[in-house]
Amino acid sequence: SVAVEIAGLAKTYPNGLRALAGIDLSVSAGEILAIVGGSGCGKSTLLRLVAGLETPNAGSVRVGGDVVRGPHPAVGLVFQEPRLLPWLTVAENVGFGLSSLDAGERAVRVALALERVGLAEHAQAWPRELSGGQAQRAALARALVTRPQVLLLDEPFSALDALTRTALQDHLLELWAFDRPTLVLVTHDIEEALVLADRVVTLRPRPGRVDDIQTVALSRP
Ligand code: ADP
Ligand code: ADP
């Protein structure tokens, strides 16, 4: 089934800059899609529109059939920087989006998420005490703990050193395998896209043009 349906999506910023000129793209449930392209071609804009953080000038985004008009509860987001709240512990950061659950259920979900990302030992640590890779694991746990149908990742590993990046790429696939959410990964790193994705889409600077590169996944945890 289709998880994300993007139709005729266009965005011109108030300063007149046309970032996207009519994008059509659909993402299947459980698919790992990578969107690659050079700096400034509109990748972040496209993700922000899917996340409901930005309003399109034309066209629409549907997630699970609903037209996106603002932040959607079924959509999780991970940025290049972990964006953890410094005045909350790692566990409190991860549980931040679960305020609708009672304290017991929240604690169980947070503990499981931290265990899955290998941070059980650091639950009571402060964000500043984590390495870059650990902090990004915490950001992944915070996004996944709400069990999103769609997880959007904007250059999630590009601030990390090469070894940490490779470890986290492997780790992302392990995490994906638990609930198999739809992943949309934006990256300028074509190798990362090929390692992680079922399908790679290139965003061209030419308005409106999206090319598909089909890849075949040979191994998947
Ligand atoms: P990418 O993620 O591929 O680097 P972006 O989506 O960030 O591309 O940016 C696409 C274009 O839109 C760029 O030319 C960028 O400078 C411009 N842009 C992005 N955000 C804004 C904004 N808030 N206001 C004006 N222009 C923007
Ligand atoms: P990232 O790639 O880390 O998502 P971006 O460079 O796309 O970050 O954008 C960072 C912030 O700066 C965003 O809020 C975006 O809207 C804003 N921005 C990016 N390009 C421009 C621009 N040309 N003019 C104004 N704001 C911009």
Nearest CA to ligand 2 atom 2: 44
Spatial distance between the Cα atoms of 61 and 105, rounded to a whole number of angstroms = 32
Spatial distance between the Cα atoms of 200 and 100, rounded to a whole number of angstroms = 36
Q: Which atom of ligand 1 is nearest to the CA of 203?
A: 3
How many angstroms separate the alpha carbon of residue 154 from the centre of ligand 2?
A: 12
Q: CB–CB of 141/119 below 8 Å?
A: yes
CB within 6 Å of ligand 2 — which residues? 44, 80, 154-155
pLDDT at position 108: 97
Q: Return the residue matching tokens 């994705």.
A: 197
Q: What sign for the dihedral angle of Cα 74, 9, 11, 35?
A: positive
Q: Which amino acid is at 1?
A: S
**Beta 32-36 vs 182-187: how paired, if at all?**
parallel
Q: Which atom of ligand 1 is nearest to the CA of 46?
A: 6
ipTM of the complex: 0.69
Nearest CA to ligand 2 atom 11: 44
User: What's the maximum distance between 2 C-alpha atoms anywhere in the chain?
Assistant: 52
pLDDT at position 221: 47
Q: Divide the 221 residues of the chain into consecutive groups of 10 and give the mean pLDDT of each group.
A: 95 90 93 91 94 96 95 94 97 95 96 96 98 97 96 96 94 94 95 93 69 56 47
